[in-house]
Amino acid sequence: TTFMAYMGLMQQYHKSFSKANGDNPVQQAIDALKSHGDRVDDFYDEFQEYKDMEDMQ
């Protein structure tokens, strides 16, 4: 579900900040948020009635 995908991204987001290795946590967080945005867009594409309810164009 979209909610589960969101929770998975939040876990990745928090993990990226708690890692003390050579990874770039800021970039990982940005990538995670971009990925989440894509999933939200997909969700709205699949559920046009939600878009209509929220009066989104």
**pLDDT per residue as tens digits for the range 15-27:** 665 554 446 667 7
Report the 10 Å Cβ neighbour count for 32. Answer: 19
| pLDDT (0 to 100) of residue 53 | 67
What gap in Å lies between CA 24 and CA 28, rounded to an integer? 6
Asked if residues 18 and 24 have their Cβ atoms less than 8 Å apart, the reply is no
Q: Is the pLDDT of residue 31 over 50?
A: yes
pLDDT over threshold 50, residue 10: yes
- Position 21 scores a pLDDT of 44
Residue 57 reports pLDDT greater than 70:
no
Domain region containing 20: 2-53
| Rounded distance between C-alpha atoms, residue 18 and residue 14, angstroms | 6
Q: What is the overall mean pLDDT for the chain? A: 70
What is the number of structural domains in the chain?
Answer: 1
Choose among 1, 37, 33: nearest CA to 14. Answer: 33
pTM: 0.32
